[in-house]
Structure 1
Amino acid sequence: MNAANPEPATHWVLTLSCPDRPGIVHAVAGAIATSGGNITESQQFGDPETGLFFMRVQVEGDLTQNELETAIAPVAEQFTMSWLVDRVGRPMRTLVLGSTTEHCVGDLLNRAHSQRLPIDIVGMVSNHTVLRPLAEFYGVGFHHVPVTKATKAEAEARLLELVEELDVELVVLARYMQILSDEVCTALAGRVINIHHSFLPSFKGARPYAQAHDRGVKLIGATAHYATASLDEGPIIEQDVERVTHADDVTELVAIGQDVERRVLARAVRWHAEHRVLLNGHRTVVFR
């Protein structure tokens, strides 16, 4: 590479959380500067309720991931940090789970295929076969894993096998109409995003749009959150709403709601894949 066309610098993202105390930002910035990195983006938040500090930094420079990690390691030890370094824009290996409705699954596949979402969908799992043609259209491996009361444990074991075999980093429940067991939620803690078709905590469980219509709501929404052992109560990543009126029947509410679901889920997946979401107990810190 000649001087007129120098090799571009590598762009890294560093995320961290630790007990809050003075000097964290100064120490992190100093370590990055010493390693030859240049900070191109920096966001931080100190939570007075939990006493925790959160930070997301993007670093550009002619340095390897190992060199940046080596520079940060002493600081991380000093401040008792949980931390991660990754390449900016690296597609996150993602497994999508769906049942019969295709609006969320199809939207994720389309966004990933057109490179508008920083994920690599390495497979689709479904307890039905309805979505197989959609997966095949996008060239994504389809795995039919039926689930009954008698076979639930076997089905979940197969799911965890696929996570291991495909080197999956993120699992997305794109209207997957099965409840994951406590064991699976624990094994994949912080790595499973679910889209709930209502503005949580309202209208949990089945038929939320019918519940909403019965209550005469004027706003409907969707919630993307991390799946936990507590049904629909995991840390919330993103929410959105749309205004509706008394003239909208259940069918119209479903159509409006599905559009909100697509948008909310895509944003949550993007922010997770870009390491913009940090867990803060039963809540999240989202650096947008």
Structure 2
Amino acid sequence: MPARYTFGGDEHLFIEVSDEMSLDAFFKSLSMATGVRESRISGVTEICPANASFQVKFNPDIIKPDDILKEVKAIEAAAEKAEPVLKTRIVEIPVFYGDPWTHETLMRFRERHQEPSGTDLDYAAKINGYPDVEGFIAAHAGSPWFVSMVGFVAGLPFMYQMVERQRQIEVPKYLRPRTDTPRLTVGHGGCFGCIYSVRGAGGYQMFGITPMPIFDSSQTTSYLRDFMVFFRPGDIVKFNPITREAYDAAVEAVDKGTFTPPIREVTFDLREFQKDIDGYNSKLEDVLHGH
């Protein structure tokens, strides 16, 4: 399906690859955004990728709207023929599911929730057909997730679960947003997972918390000294359930500058993934653990 193009004011072109998220749409969107960047079109000042779309900011004094449209449409034609292969990285993120901090927060905002009598994990397990929270956590952590977009607030990753559509976890957002969410909360809304990079308002269901900072404007965190934002579109994330003891140890390691997230370089091939999703995911996990 061809992309949909709309102008925003005098200096923005919005390109919508699909009105629903899929890895195919994400790959085409990322390929087009990369193509625009590499083409170095005169007058383009910024490119902002999203889940299945992207926006181009341009200077209309340098390039006319009709000309930028023509340039990007030519890049779309090239993207249609591009190989759906991405050189990226896979990273393991420790998660303390059902932690006391998100639990305290969700209890403060129960009147804004669909089912005030339980927790966010209880609700997510129930509506996704899992018999208990343990089964739900196993499904959440059992398959990798694709980072399809980084933003909304600085460094926040939106993540898309790498399983068949019918197996994807889906949970609606709170009926009314909270005014508080702990920093580094692992959340979920609709079909997207996320990690709250900073403390603040939010409406996603809260499943747990990670000890691993993913945004540091001071750039004092050991692995964020070169760049304050950890994630980038195309990253593959594998959640690792941890205990309270492991969480405390990781927080201490972060403070001492000795925490290093497990990261491996990997080449992701969308066609091979779609042939055998579980088998491909298993191979990705083998790469992560050095097998």
TM-score normalised to structure 1 length: 0.28
Which has the larger share of strand?
Answer: 1
